[in-house]
Structures are given as structure tokens and as C-alpha cells.
Amino acid sequence: MSPADSESAYFNNYPPPKALPKHESLARSFIEYHVESNRRVVLVTSGGTTVPLENQTVRFIDNFSAGTRGATSAEYFLQQGYAVIFLHRQFSLLPYSRHYSHSTNCFLDFMDEASPSDVSNSDHGHIVVRNEYQDEMRDVLRKYRYAKQNNLLLLLPFTTVSEYLFELRMLAKCMNPLGPNALFYLAAAVSDFFIPRDRMAEHKIQSSEIPKEFRSPEEAVGADDIYTGGFEQKQESSKKLVVNLDPVPKFLHQLVNGWSPEGSMIVSFKLETDPNLLVYKAQTALERYAHHLVIGNLLSTRKWEVVFVTPNPPHERWIRVPKSRRSKSISGVEDQVGKAEAAKRSLGEQTSAAPAEEPTKEEDTGYIATREGTEIESLIIPELVKLHTGMIEKFKR
Ligand code: PMT
């Protein structure tokens, strides 16, 4: 099947999300507003998509992504003067509020009750931000309000993989008037497998046998012949669920060759867990979709290092947070930093990779240190903006 055929097969199989018309009208006016001021607009996708197991969904497959990369990157794009469409998994991290929404950074820990000043209500003090957090919170609040007051940030949520794909297609088409001022930054962890609608159970999958008289006659897929590949009878009262998933068509191809504006820049991410595979997989994605940049990252080191894989020299470029500035990460494994780059070299491949450099004194001032250390997105986004500027200039010539 050609990419265009699998596109129509996929979209014809699903009803569009209910929120799509509302999101489209919000996106159109947001984009129109920024086209008029010739501002660059980036679409940041963020968080994981779910794969429902039932049409009336009780259970679904999900992935690890919390939306940290997307939400953090959105802030640095805003800092660089971009307007941001933030297409995110509902309830994942959001720009600015992310600083206070982790379970380890509960906003309540930043607050205090001041001594009551009003004698008539002596047990009610004003709620205030604790002294030690005043400067940091003021800074975040100012940036957040600036983005809101200047209509620079549009938040659009999705949950399932099909909602994500409908939204992505709609937004890419709406972004057409932006031409080269459009940038796609696809950091979402999109499910690679799904259950086609015609194989999906309508109701909650039962773990035990239901008498025939309780099964609804209109249900397209009955409990006995559910898409899952079949239940294996284990004991009399329980069943083993075997899930049988189809691959989601890769829509990057359609994005690059159809939906996106002419001259726009498309950046995708590649996540791997095996250091030996990372660069290879990122290069393969770049060759397959012929877009502009793949940012490769390993699950265990994604907060400290990424690799830019580009069609033009240096082809492979590592960006790393210097050791002394690395944030602590519960899921991260610091020993793995440098492993993917070393793996590439040990294969004896000719590489024109630019080794990751320690920052010079001047660059040093550009580093943004949070309580938790330097955020790698503060290094990624300025580099990306330089590449985007180069593309815009080339397009104009
Ligand atoms: O949110 P965090 O916890 O901070 O984690 C961030 C991250 C690790 C999820 C992020 O940095 C990242 O790597 N995201 C991409 C994950 C990935 O490997 O995606 P993929 O290989 O399935 O897809 C590659 C690209 O193709 C993606 O940019 C995706 O948007 C796109 N895609 C994917 C599936 C699909 N059917 N169509 C697509 O176009």
C-alpha cells in the first residue's frame, strides 16, 4: 500500500475526534495572527499516545513519556521568539506549570500561610510563596503571563493515537500560510501499534465467561471472537488475554510530502534503549522520510545528551550537558553517557561526527540552570533555531 493509500485507509477507519473542529478554529486564528506579524510558529508534539483496547475504553496501552522534553522545549522556543502550538497528551506536563506539577515538586510545598494581619479573621493568613522560591516563581510566572497575554502559546490536548494523528494532519495543513516560518518538532512518543476499529470490542473485555443472554446483539465484535487473537482458556473462571496489534502507518512520510507547508522545517525524534542502534536508527529515519533533522536520544541518557543527525555535514553532532551541570534523574543512568557515540566509533565506521564540546566562556552565559541543573533543551533549541534560520534564508534566495 502506498503512504497515501494507508493514510486514507487509516483516517476512513476512525471518526475524527470531537474536539477537532474547535481545535481547528483555534489553530486557524492563532496562525493567522502570527502570519500577520511574520512570526515563526513551531508545532511541538509532546507526551505519549494511548492505544485503547475497547471502544468504550476502560483499558488502554500507554508508554512512559511524561512530556518533559516537549514542555521544556516549548519554553525555550518561546524564549527564542517563536509562537508555540503545543499538541500534548492530556494531563502530561505543560510549559511553565511543569515546574510545579511533578509529584516531587508539588506546588503546595512552595507555599505558606502568612501570619494573619486582619484581627477580625485571626486564623486566616494570606497564602504566599515561600521566601526561598520567590525569585524563581516570579520568573516563571512572568514568562507564563507574557506568553498568554501575547497569544504566543496554544495548548491542544490529545489522548489516543488516532486523536493525535487527526490533530497532526489538521495542524500541518492549517500551518500552510506560514511557509518556511513553520517548524515541526515531533517529540511525542507515538504508539507504533494499534487495534483497527473493526477488530475492537465495543464494551469492557470480560475476564470471565458471560452468558449469551447478557451479550448485546448489536455489538460488532462478540466476546468470543475478540480481536485479541483469541482467549486461551486457563481455568474455568479466568482467561488469558492475547493482544494482536497492527502497525500504525508512519505518517512522517505524509507530513513531509503532503501536509506540511513548502519550505518548512521538520524535526523528528528517535528514541532507543540500545546504544548500538541509536545513530543507525536515526540515520535510517532521515533517509526514509527525507526530512531535515532527526534528534536521537537514549531512554537512559535523554536528559543529558542527544545527537543531531542531519543530511548535511557534520551529519552527526552530539550535544551534551557538561558533567558538572547534569541534573539528577531517577530513571537516568549516567554511565551510559557517551556509549552510543562510542558504539558508532567501535563499529569502525567512517564518521564525520563533531564531538560534543565543553562550552566556551561566552556560551557559558547562555546556560540556564534550574534548581535541578542545566536543561538539555536550553542547548538543543538555540542550535535548532540556527538551523531553521539557515533554511529560511536559503528558501528566500
Ligand atoms: O516526554 P519525555 O519523558 O521527556 O520523553 C521524551 C521522548 C524520549 C519521548 C522524546 O525525546 C522522543 O524521543 N520522542 C520520539 C519517540 C520515538 O522514538 O518515536 P518513533 O520512533 O516511534 O517515531 C519517530 C518519529 O516518527 C516521531 O517523531 C513521531 O512523531 C513520528 N511518527 C511516529 C509514529 C507514527 N505512526 N507516525 C509518525 O510520524
Q: Per-residue pLDDT tens for 189-228?
A: 999 999 998 889 899 988 777 777 776 655 545 545 444 4
| Structural domain of 98 | 3-105+137-195+247-396
Average pLDDT on 74-99 reads 97
Residue of 263, 297, 225 lying closest to 72 (CA atoms): 297
Decide: 158 and 17 in contact? Cβ < 8 Å.
yes
What's the CATH code of the domain at 330? 3.40.50.10300
- Residue 183 CB–ligand 1 contact under 6 Å: no
Q: Which residue has the higher pLDDT, 327 or 119?
A: 327
Residue 15 has pLDDT above 80, yes or no: yes
Q: What's the confidence (pLDDT) of residue 242?
A: 85
Counting atoms of ligand 1 from 1, which one is nearest the CA of 188?
14
Average pLDDT over the chain reads 88
Residue 33 has pLDDT above 50, yes or no: yes
Instruction: Decide if 121 is inside a domain.
Output: no
Decide: 218 and 132 in contact? Cβ < 8 Å.
no
Instruction: Decide if 230 is inside a domain.
Output: no
Which of 161, 163, 271 should be mutated for ligand 1, with most atoms under 8 A from CB?
271
Residue 296 β-bridge partners: 270, 307
Residue indicated by cell numbers 512570526: 39
Decide: 260 and 182 in contact? Cβ < 8 Å.
yes
Residue 352 has pLDDT above 60, yes or no: no
Instruction: Decide if 240 is inside a domain.
Output: no
Q: What's the confidence (pLDDT) of residue 327?
A: 84
Average pLDDT on 19-36 reads 98
Tally of domains within the chain: 1
Alpha-carbon distances of 362 from 134, 266, 337, 365, 367, rounded to whole Å: 28, 29, 25, 6, 10
Q: What's the confidence (pLDDT) of residue 367?
A: 41
Q: What's the confidence (pLDDT) of residue 205?
A: 87
Cα–Cα dist 303/320, whole Å: 9
- Residue 98 CB–ligand 1 contact under 6 Å: no
**Distance from the Cα of residue 240 to its chain's centroid:** 33
Residue of 225, 368, 383, 259 lying closest to 317 (CA atoms): 383
Instruction: Decide if 368 is inside a domain.
Output: yes
Counting atoms of ligand 1 from 1, which one is nearest the CA of 272?
18
Percentage, residues of the chain above pLDDT 90: 68
Instruction: Decide if 114 is inside a domain.
Output: no
Beta strands 51-52; 60-61: pairing state: antiparallel
Q: What's the confidence (pLDDT) of residue 206?
A: 84
| Main-chain dihedrals φ then ψ at residue 83, nearest 5 degrees | -90, 145
DSSP secondary structure string, 200-238? Answer: SBSSPPPSS---GGGS-TT-SS-GGG-TTT-PEE-SSS-
- Residue 268 CB–ligand 1 contact under 6 Å: yes
Residue of 387, 287, 368 lying closest to 321 (CA atoms): 368
Instruction: Summarize pLDDT for 108-155 with one digit per residue, the tens.
Output: 999 999 988 765 667 788 999 999 999 999 999 999 999 999 999 999
Percentage, residues of the chain above pLDDT 70: 85
Q: What's the confidence (pLDDT) of residue 180?
A: 98
My answer on whether omega of the bond before 311 falls inside 30° of 0, hence cis, is: no
Residue of 58, 56, 11 lying closest to 219 (CA atoms): 56
Q: What's the confidence (pLDDT) of residue 361?
A: 41
Q: Where are the alpha helices (DSSP H) in 37-160?
A: 68-79, 134-149
Instruction: Decide if 12 is inside a domain.
Output: yes
Q: What's the confidence (pLDDT) of residue 124?
A: 82
Q: If you measure from the C-alpha of residue 112 to the centroid of ligand 1, how many angstroms do you get, rounded to a whole number? A: 40
Q: If you measure from the C-alpha of residue 153 to the centroid of ligand 1, how many angstroms do you get, rounded to a whole number? A: 22
Instruction: Decide if 378 is inside a domain.
Output: yes
Q: If you measure from the C-alpha of residue 47 to the centroid of ligand 1, how many angstroms do you get, rounded to a whole number? A: 9
DSSP-derived secondary structure letter, 256:
I
- Residue 186 CB–ligand 1 contact under 6 Å: yes
- Which residue has the least CA distance to atom 35 on ligand 1? 250
Instruction: Decide if 68 is inside a domain.
Output: yes
Which of 270, 272, 284, 319 should be mutated for ligand 1, with most atoms under 8 A from CB?
270
Q: What's the confidence (pLDDT) of residue 329?
A: 79
Q: If you measure from the C-alpha of residue 269 to the centroid of ligand 1, how many angstroms do you get, rounded to a whole number? A: 5
Q: If you measure from the C-alpha of residue 307 to the centroid of ligand 1, how many angstroms do you get, rounded to a whole number? A: 14
For residue 312, give the C-alpha cell: 548535511
- Residue 281 CB–ligand 1 contact under 6 Å: no
Average pLDDT on 90-100 reads 96
Q: What's the confidence (pLDDT) of residue 191?
A: 97
- Which range among 303-317, 326-340, 352-366 has the greatest average pLDDT? 303-317
- Residue 302 CB–ligand 1 contact under 6 Å: yes
Instruction: Summarize pLDDT for 146-195 with one digit per residue, the tens.
Output: 999 999 999 999 999 999 999 999 999 999 999 999 999 999 999 999 99
Q: What's the confidence (pLDDT) of residue 365?
A: 37
- Which residue has the least CA distance to atom 13 on ligand 1? 271
pLDDT classification of 362: cutoffs 50, 70, 90: very low
Cα–Cα dist 107/98, whole Å: 10
pTM as predicted:
0.90
Which of 75, 268, 279, 293 should be mutated for ligand 1, with most atoms under 8 A from CB?
268
Q: If you measure from the C-alpha of residue 51 to the centroid of ligand 1, how many angstroms do you get, rounded to a whole number? A: 15
Q: Which of 15-24, 168-177, 241-250, 316-325 has the lowest mean pLDDT?
A: 241-250
- Residue 259 CB–ligand 1 contact under 6 Å: no
Q: What angle do CA 359, 361, 365 make, to 5 degrees?
A: 90
- Per-residue b/e over 383-392, b at no fewer than 16 CB within 10 Å? ebbebbeebb
